[in-house]
Amino acid sequence: MIGVLEMYQDVTDDLATTRQNSLRFALAGSLSMGAFLFLVVSRADKVIARGRDRLLDQQRKLQEGAERLHTVVTGAPVLLYSLDRDGVITLSEGKGLEALGLQPGDLVGKSISEVYGDSPEVLRDNRRALTGETFALTLDTEGLAFETRFTPVTDIDGSAEGIICVGVDITDRIAAERAVRDSNNRLEEALLELQQTQHQVVQQERLRALGTMASGIAHDSNNALAPILGYSDLLLQYPDTLDDREKSSDYLRSINTSAADAAAVVDRLREFYRHREDAIVSQVDLNQIVREVISMTQPRWKDVAQAKGSNIEFQVQLADNLPLIQGDVSNLRTALTNLVFNSVDAMPNGGTLSLSTIALGDQVAMSVSDTGTGMTEEIRRRALEPFFTTKAESGTGLGLAMVYGIVQRHEGRIDIHSGLGRGTTITIRLPVQMEQSTTTNRTDDRVVARSLRVLVANDDPAVRLLIKDFLTRDGHSVESAVDGREALKKFGEGKFDLVVADRGMPNLGGDQLVAAIRAKSEVPIIMVTGFGNMMVDSGERPAGVDFCLSKPLEIAALRKAILTVVNS
């Protein structure tokens, strides 16, 4: 209901007729319909106005979106075009057109085959999209690369009416990727060259280190050989010295000790691959080491110095009841020997050399002092560095560094006090470890209770004779062979309780001899070689060998080996 129309009649007028009433009702209906139509039109105008406003707003938004899209398309390195079903370009937009030398709209109305007639791959891809397939690929054209997506435009039945193609210029990206790959290739080549150069440098450093190590070994070996040559030369030139049993015994003890130290110098090569706990640890009397070093170094600090016209006064002050320490006696003796020789070198015109020991609570200390040239503060700070030397070509820079290494392995410390022109004092402090279990450094001198028949095979006449003398002194019967072939022949012809064989022999080596003997007998076999200790450390003892002995050979070591193999 839109409204109500009311009409009133004056009923006092009795003369009103029926015709008049009909006219009145007709007029009332017309007025009602007119009012209704007026209201309908008014409301329709409002609805149309609102719809028009919404449409205008949507048109404005579409226009703004189209403008934004146009801005993006024209500003970004994008190539946008569309085709109808006949392959005619209906749209060409995008900044990517500039890379092809075109402007937006230049291609509109042209056939795709006309534009890309010389690019069959491009024509093929467009025809493929017109079949209704959506796909993406990299399109190369005129030296440029576009990452392109083809999208078909279909009608209500799904038939392709055309395509829209959007391509993004990725030429710079591909160039950058290619540059990165080229850079990576160059880096890999440079790395390979660097690795090769590094390998060469490492090899050179190894050779240099080997040469330096050899110099250090030669240096320490010469130190150890000095008393051997010196005292043996005295005995040979002055045979009457042998009539003085005490003096000749001292000479012989020094020779024997120095020979053992020379063997220890070579044995230090094992430090490059063995564990530190393999070192021979025993109770050590530092006072005894000082006495031995004084005797061993006398040819250098006394005889040689006097021959050069200089005089070195030796002063010794040893503490009474000095506690024993745990250590490697040979290494400690070598360390002190190096310090003494360094002091002698620092006093070319003579001076005073002092050795002392002292107990300091839970430590003991031994000091070497000289009145030589001394050191600057910079040299003192660097004195313990490996390969640092002030002796030019005559020094290896390993002496004090080696001493420092020995002290470190004994959990001690080394102090250097020096001043230029005021001499030098070097003190080694070592901990007292009386409660630690000890291993005596005396080799077992027991001999086998019964006499053995022994086959000795060695191509070195001196070593062969020495082993024979060792064995005959202990009451054994010995048969000798100059090489492995003769030893195997004699073994087959006789009966033996023990075989002592060298490893490196002509005709038939020690390993081959052991294998041949093991094929027919379980007789104990001791192998003697210059690398015996190294073979034991590295687990390279040849099959069939019961015990490895290292040269130079001592009678006590041979006795221990015989006891071990015979008792087992």
% pLDDT > 90, the chain: 14
Which sequence spans correspond to the domains of the chain? Answer: 1-71, 76-169, 280-431, 453-567
| CB 248, CB 242: distance < 8 Å | yes
| CB 555, CB 534: distance < 8 Å | no
Quote the CA–CA distance of 471 and 452 in Å, as a whole number. 9
Strand partners, 364: 359, 430
Tokens 């020995």 label which residue? 406
Q: Which of 104-113, 335-344, 385-394, 447-456 has the lowest mean pLDDT?
A: 385-394
Tokens 């092809």 label which residue? 100
CATH number of the structural domain 280-431: 3.30.565.10
Highest mean pLDDT among 56-60, 380-384, 398-402, 419-423: 419-423
| CB 325, CB 283: distance < 8 Å | yes
| CB 371, CB 423: distance < 8 Å | yes
The per-residue pLDDT for 140 is 76
Q: Which of 7-11, 103-107, 256-260, 266-270 has the lowest mean pLDDT?
A: 7-11
3-state secondary structure of 424: strand
What is the topology classification, in CATH, of domain 453-567? Answer: Rossmann fold (3.40.50)
State pLDDT tens for residues 526-563: 988 876 555 655 556 678 888 888 877 788 888 888 99
State pLDDT tens for residues 7-56: 555 555 544 566 666 666 666 667 667 666 767 677 777 777 777 778 77
Q: Do the domains 76-169 and 280-431 sit in the same CATH topology, yes or no?
A: no
What is the topology classification, in CATH, of domain 76-169? Answer: Beta-Lactamase (3.30.450)
User: For all residues of the chain together, what is the average pLDDT?
Assistant: 78
| Spatial CA neighbour of 514 closest among 499, 528, 536 | 499
The per-residue pLDDT for 503 is 86
% pLDDT > 70, the chain: 74
The per-residue pLDDT for 234 is 78
Query: What 8-state DSSP symbol labels residue 269?
Result: G
- 22: tokens are 């009909």
- Cβ within 8 Å of residue 533, ≥6 positions away: 267, 270, 550
Task: Work out the average pLDDT over 283-302.
Answer: 82
pLDDT at 394 over 50: no
The per-residue pLDDT for 244 is 84
- 432: tokens are 């007292």
Quote the CA–CA distance of 114 and 130 in Å, as a whole number. 17
3-state secondary structure of 55: helix
Task: Work out the average pLDDT over 261-268.
Answer: 67
Determine the residue type at 49: A
Better-predicted residue by pLDDT, 399 or 401:
401
Quote the CA–CA distance of 171 and 534 in Å, as a whole number. 66
Rounded to a whole number of angstroms, the CA Rg of the chain reads: 55
State pLDDT tens for residues 487-535: 999 999 989 999 999 988 888 888 899 999 999 899 999 988 876 555 6
The per-residue pLDDT for 443 is 44
Cα-flanking dihedrals φ and ψ of residue 343, to 5°? -65, -40
Task: Work out the average pLDDT over 56-72.
Answer: 71
Query: What 8-state DSSP symbol labels residue 87?
Result: S
